[in-house]
Amino acid sequence: MAAAITGFVAVAAALGAGHLMAGILLQPGASPFLAVGNAAIDRTPAPIKDFAISTFGTADKPALLIGMAVFLALASVVIGLVSRRSAVPGLAAIAVLGAIGALAVREQSPQSLALLAPVASLIAGLAAFWFLHRRGQPTTDLPTTGDAPADADERPRRPLRRRGFLVGSAGVAAGAAAATVGGAVLERRVDVAASRGAVGPLVPAVPAPPIPSTAAFPELGTPTFITPSKDFYRIDINLTVPQLRAEDAVLKITGLVDEPQEITFDEIRNMPLVEKTITMTCVSNEVGGPYVSTSNFLGVPLIGLLDRAGIQSGATQVVGRSFDGFTLGTPLDMLRDVGEEALLAIGMNREPLLPEHGFPMRTVVPGLYGYVSATKWLTELRLATYDFKPYWVERQWDGEPPGVVPIKISSRIDAPGSFQRIPRGEVTVAGTAWAQGRGIEKVEIRFDDGEWEPAELATEVNRNTWQMFRLTRPLESGTHKVTSRATDRTGFVQPQERLPLITPGPTPDGSTGWHAIDFFVE
Ligand SMILES: Nc1nc2c(c(=O)[nH]1)N[C@H]1C(S)=C(S)[C@@H](COP(=O)(O)O)O[C@H]1N2
Ligand SMILES: [Mo]
């Protein structure tokens, strides 16, 4: 028991010390535990990452952290148990864990100072293990043992020794907890909330047209037309939200340009802001899935900023780089096609971006999936060729033409819910369809594999947003199935064939297939 506690508490001390030092350094990413998690994410092959996203949804990161914590807890107990006789295996194992932490921090953190965190971790882990191991050893000579005859003195001293161990391990555990909390508190010194609060009201020079109340049927179960910012889907590779203050943010425009630029957040904030209503979609969204949301984005036209720098003729790809080093690439000609609609955004719904959605600035390109267009925590736009391989391209999700495809047409039934029981009488089916860039021409509904019937479309807002639909029919009691399919303004019909997201090769490039729901009429 003492051996297990020794291993467990020593590893906790190591993690706590690392977290505290990361807080002192103001580099959350230097915390060895988080760095190992981020390094693991970087190494996860795209299909597995995709599986994680579709299984755990946005909880994939807590799931990873909990998994790591459980693994470490078990490993630490084993480390303690195998060190009952000698401290050497435990010390060696802690040194190995420390080295893994240091390697991960070196990889994940651009600054060499960050290495102080895993070093602190290592020292704390070794010291705590050594200290507790000595106290937990019934056969080790403690200073109080003196040279009294073993047999006579063993009985009265045992409880004392055990108490010494328990007090020692409780003390170390409390220290580890305090260090962890301290690290978290210290990190708050980068006060992104205050920075965001200080941005002040964002008023567009060119507001988006108001959303008609007839554009959605939330009373029937469709989403509201504009997604409340806090409910906007979130997808990124980050375990912790990158903390970049507006006052520290500078956008560099580099690469194949005549005049490289450095534009501060304040300069952008003081440009005439335009507002665009755009529906964003993640390539990992399964048919019927939740990774699609709509916002009034506020910012300045992206292409105008790039043209200001003078794009050179060899450029084919616009690489967005994020504060944490993440990169993505947008084909320049696709960006040009979208024209003034693509934004360097600083706001959503008239407020500064939420930290999770890229505060202080990000890009948004209507019609393209997020992973090839929507860099959050943006720090640089580099005009490049396809020789540059962004994060996901390097990991097999093809970003080169024809790899970059426009967002695929899709429709989703939001009501009735899957397996919902509905009172006898009329059934109203309502849902959402999108084909950003092309617009929705019609949505058809079919009950129980019967004839397709056109649904009523809600008022269209613009071709870059989703469009709601509804249809009411009397249905007999029993189990029913309802299927939807949409057609875009070019006449392209949402295909029936379901392409799995997890396929070998340069896919996924977005899910296809019809959405169907089973429900029950009483
Ligand atoms: N810096 C950064 N930007 C990123 C990502 C990321 O992992 N890091 N993920 C992209 C993906 S895959 C999507 S779908 C969108 C999601 O943006 P949201 O979280 O604001 O909805 O952000 C994109 N921008
Ligand atoms: Mo995505």
pLDDT-above-90 percentage for the chain: 68
What Å distances lie between residue 113 and 30, 62, 134, CA to CA?
9, 27, 33
**With 50 as the cut, is the pLDDT of residue 140 above it?**
no
pLDDT band at 62 (very low <50, low <70, confident <90, very high): confident
Report how far ligand 1's centroid is from the alpha carbon of 32 (Å): 24
Report how far ligand 1's centroid is from the alpha carbon of 197 (Å): 23
Which of 227, 236, 297, 349 has most ligand 1 atoms within 8 Å of its beta carbon, as the pocket-test mutant?
236
The pLDDT value recorded for residue 230 is: 95
Report how far ligand 2's centroid is from the alpha carbon of 226 (Å): 19
117 and 87 both lie in a single domain: yes
Which range marks the domain in which residue 225 is found?
Answer: 199-403
Report the nearest-CA residue for atom 15 of ligand 1: 370
H/E element, 7: helix 2-24
436 and 396 both lie in a single domain: no
- Least confident stretch, 114-128, 259-273, 369-383: 114-128
Q: Hey, is 452 helix, strand or coil?
A: coil
pLDDT band at 394 (very low <50, low <70, confident <90, very high): confident
**With 70 as the cut, is the pLDDT of residue 127 above it?**
yes
363 and 431 both lie in a single domain: no
What's the total number of domains in the chain? 3
Report the nearest-CA residue for atom 9 of ligand 1: 236
pLDDT band at 427 (very low <50, low <70, confident <90, very high): very high
Report the nearest-CA residue for atom 16 of ligand 1: 235
CA–CA distance, 451 with 483 (Å, rounded to integer): 11
Report the nearest-CA residue for atom 1 of ligand 1: 376
8 Å CB contact between 89 and 79:
yes
The residue from 334, 368, 403 where one domain ends is 403
Report the nearest atom of ligand 1 relative to the CA of 323. 1
375 and 245 both lie in a single domain: yes
375 and 304 both lie in a single domain: yes
pLDDT-above-70 percentage for the chain: 90
Asked if the structure places residue 285 within a domain, the reply is yes
Measured from CB, residues less than 6 Å from any atom of ligand 1 are 232-237, 280, 282, 322, 326, 357, 370-371, 374-377
**With 90 as the cut, is the pLDDT of residue 39 above it?**
no
Report the nearest atom of ligand 1 relative to the CA of 322. 1
35 and 178 both lie in a single domain: yes
Asked if the structure places residue 149 within a domain, the reply is no
8 Å CB contact between 433 and 412:
yes
37 and 169 both lie in a single domain: yes
The pLDDT value recorded for residue 511 is: 86
Q: What is the pLDDT of residues 340-389, one digit of tens each?
A: 999 999 999 999 999 999 999 999 999 999 999 999 999 999 999 999 98
15 and 130 both lie in a single domain: yes
- Per-residue tokens: 416: 């009735």
The pLDDT value recorded for residue 497 is: 87
Report the nearest atom of ligand 1 relative to the CA of 392. 12
The residue from 349, 377, 403 where one domain ends is 403
pLDDT band at 162 (very low <50, low <70, confident <90, very high): confident
Other residues' Cβ atoms within 10 Å of the Cβ of residue 257: 19
**With 60 as the cut, is the pLDDT of residue 199 above it?**
yes
